[in-house]
Structure 1
Amino acid sequence: MDRDRPDAEHLVVVESLSYPSGHSMSAMAFYGFLIYLLFHLKMSRFLRSFLVIFFVLVILDIGLSRIYLGVHYPSDVIAGFLGGFIWVAFCIILFNLIDLLRRRKRNNREMEENLQT
């Protein structure tokens, strides 16, 4: 993963290597998980749709800005998006697993209380 940045003149000063784009990965991980959480909150369909579209556009804009600034190749941004997506998937699985274990523990406690009465 030791790839130099594009040769074009950068609009910002960067010293690190290029692959993958950390900004793209962070944007996908953060806003992607927010999108997931939106589907677990009670809100109007219009507001949810608006926020999902807004967050998707923010993710894409951050990726495109890295290419525009000349600090990443498109493949760097795509790799960042994929890495961020994998992180979101991992967090969703972990989130659901914790929720499942909490429910199981609560159900076991309720069953024990019912047996005692």
Structure 2
Amino acid sequence: MRKPMRTFDYFQLGLALFGLTIFLCLMLGVLYDLPYLHWIDQLGLHQIREPLTAERSWFFRNVTRAGNTRWTAVVMAATIAVSLIVKKYDIAVFMFVNVAIFALGGMVVLKHTFNRPRPDILHLVSASGTSFPSGHALNSILLYGSLIVLTHYYVHNIYLRYAFTTLLATLIIAIPMSRVYLGVHYLSDVLAGMSLGTFFLIMSKEFIFKYRTREFFENEENT
């Protein structure tokens, strides 16, 4: 029987293009040192970094670890391994494309391309390399956003689905914030990583899963 498909989700397409537009605006701000970029960065320093307290520093030092390269690679590898065992090959492709290619690979290319220095302020954690865009922000959207998509498709218990989604969404917000608080990124860096990650996540979801709705996954065994 032919598998059911839906039309492309144009709302999500619009959201993806909006994310790409935000990234391009921030990219131009970095390339040409435009005034609005400095306004955004100062806003981040005042609204996120201040005040520096022992409690906030402890929280953000720990939460930022959930977006580092090693942890991201471990979660990706574990998800891919499980998906191959249960023969869900589209999940394996989805995770590999989003995390290995777009997040980890894209981060290296983009940072080398823009070569923006990190903020010249006190860093509360060690950080090497350049600043734009934030790799942690890109990782958080593409890793935990991918897991939200999979949770929506494969976790049928509504309470578990909401619980997992809430936890993952919290990480998506907290990890980029941690980079600004810890002084290793500007707000524009993390907004660029999040907006570009949103574009990649939506486009990969729509194409890799072939526009399929949740109902397709729930009824797949009966088609």
TM-score (norm 2): 0.42
What stretches of structure 1 of length at least 5 have no aligned partner? Answer: 100-117
**Residue in 2 aligned with 1:38?**
151
1:12 aligns with 2:125: yes
CA positional deviation for 1:57: 0.3
* 1:85 aligned partner: 198
Query: By how many angstroms is 1:42 displaced?
Result: 4.0
Post-superposition offset of 1:21: 0.2
Corresponding residue of 1:106: none
Displacement of 1:46:
1.2
Matched, 1:48 2:140: no
**Where does structure 1 differ by over 4 angstroms across 4 or more consecutive aligned residues?**
none
User: Which of 139, 142, 147 is equivalent to 1:26?
Assistant: 139
Does residue 60 (structure 1) correspond to residue 173 (structure 2)? The answer is: yes
SS in structure 2 opposite 1:20? coil
Structure label with greater radius of gyration: 1
Question: Cα gap change, 1:46/1:98 in structure 2, threshold over 3 Å: closer, same or farther?
Answer: closer
Taking structure 1 as the reference length, the TM-score comes to 0.77
CA distance in 1, matches of 2:171, 2:183: 19
Q: Write the distance in 2 (CA, Å) between the matches of 1:13 and 1:30.
A: 23
2:149 maps to amino acid: Y
Question: What is the alpha-carbon root mean square deviation over aligned residues?
Answer: 1.7
CA separation in 2, counterparts of 1:3 and 1:42?
A: 41
Change (3 A) 1:98 1:46: closer
Structure 2 gaps, min length 5: 1-113, 213-223
Instruction: State the identity %.
Output: 35
Give 1:112's aligned residue. Answer: none
Write the deviation string for residues 4-27 of structure 1: whole angstroms up to 9, x where unpaired: 111111112223110100011011
Relative distance call for 1:68 and 1:96 in structure 2 (3 A) is same
Match of 1:13, SS?
Answer: coil
2:82 alignment counterpart? none
